[in-house]
Amino acid sequence: MTQYSGTQHSGAIMSVTGVTRRFQRGAETVLALDNVSLELYPGELAVAAGPSGSGKTTLLSLLAGTEAADSGQVTPLPPLPTGVSPGELGWPYLAFVPQALALLDEFTVAENVSLPAALNPAAASGTPSTEELLERLEIGHLAGRYPSLTSGGEQQRTAVARALRLRPPLLLGDEPTGHQDRARVALVLSVLRLHAYHGSAVLISSHDPEVISAADRVITLADGRIVADERAGTPASQPAPASQQA
Ligand SMILES: Nc1ncnc2c1ncn2[C@@H]1O[C@H](COP(=O)(O)OP(=O)(O)OP(=O)(O)O)[C@@H](O)[C@H]1O
């Protein structure tokens, strides 16, 4: 990998500038993110790595707009709508797989995956069908089941399928392979890689060496700071080997 000076490149889809996020724990102030800057690019499968507590979830939550920064900016750039905050973008533009998954238990697996399309019918044309995504993620047989009656790994793949439903230009995932067995880690990675290959920016967090080694770019955090931002030699625009594609 080579050192990646991401902030120098044009064509970014999301820009993070000098972002700091503190949490108060009693008398103690925890600096979860400390003056972090980076840019995300279409066509790139990036992984946020780093030890537990290094700030990965906080970074993803700020990018997804589910948390606000104390200072600094998170700025959507074209083809995302501009002049809005990340939290206003919605499924057609930004899909997030949070660690808690946020599946709706009163809806079936298929209904959960269809939700972004049901809420944004105009954005659904030309996007993969719910059935196709369920098959690709090997949960087609669970379409009519409620998420609470499926395994943790199956629920996680449901949340990944939901995130892909409108083929968003930006997909974020907080350890989206964390509940998968080895074969399904490779499956989820191949699906995310294909999504990046089609031109989207993908950023996921992971501790898993297999996930980290499959990334186009590895952003390593420690104590709320980016300590390395490296790109693999292989351009993100090259497709994954056919054997890895779903
Ligand atoms: N709501 C909160 N209140 C207090 N401290 C928090 C809160 N959320 C995160 N932190 C602290 O901020 C720091 C960064 O946490 P974060 O969850 O972003 O790390 P992480 O790298 O995602 O960890 P993990 O790999 O264990 O999920 C940690 O010290 C954590 O304890």
Q: 152-164 vs 109-119: helix axis angle to the nearest 10? A: 20
Contact 53, 39 (CB under 8 A): no
Relative to beta strand 201-205, strand 45-49 is parallel
* Contacts for 26 with CB less than 8 Å, ≥ 6 apart: none
Compute the chain's Rg from CA coordinates: 17
pLDDT at 232: 84
Low-confidence ranges of the chain (pLDDT < 50): 2-9, 234-246
Measured in Å, residue 28 CA sits from the centre of ligand 1 at 14
From 19, 20, 23, 208, mutation site for ligand 1 pocket: most ligand atoms within 8 A of C-beta: 23
Measured in Å, residue 56 CA sits from the centre of ligand 1 at 8
Nearest residue CA, atom 26 of ligand 1? Answer: 52
pLDDT at 10: 61
Residue 196: name the closest of 160, 240, 153, 157 by CA: 240
Per DSSP, 193 falls in state H
d(CA 189, CA 177): 8
From 54, 61, 97, 205, mutation site for ligand 1 pocket: most ligand atoms within 8 A of C-beta: 54
Length of the chain: 246
From 57, 179, 203, mutation site for ligand 1 pocket: most ligand atoms within 8 A of C-beta: 57
From 58, 206, 220, mutation site for ligand 1 pocket: most ligand atoms within 8 A of C-beta: 58
Instruction: Say whether the peptide bond before residue 169 is cis (omega within 30 degrees of 0).
Output: no
Measured in Å, residue 188 CA sits from the centre of ligand 1 at 25
pLDDT at 246: 38
CB within 6 Å of ligand 1 — which residues? 23, 25, 30, 32, 50, 52-58
What's the ipTM? 0.97
Measured in Å, residue 58 CA sits from the centre of ligand 1 at 7
Measured in Å, residue 48 CA sits from the centre of ligand 1 at 14
pLDDT at 150: 97
The CATH H-level superfamily of 2-235 is: P-loop containing nucleotide triphosphate hydrolases (3.40.50.300)
The percent helix, strand, coil of the chain (3-state, each to 5) is 35, 25, 40
Measured in Å, residue 205 CA sits from the centre of ligand 1 at 13
Measured in Å, residue 215 CA sits from the centre of ligand 1 at 23
Domain boundaries, the chain: 2-235
Give φ, ψ of 215 to 5 degrees: -80, 155
pLDDT in tens, 167-187: 999 999 999 999 999 999 999
Measured in Å, residue 19 CA sits from the centre of ligand 1 at 15
Q: Looking at ligand 1, which atom is closest to the CA of residue 99?
A: 27
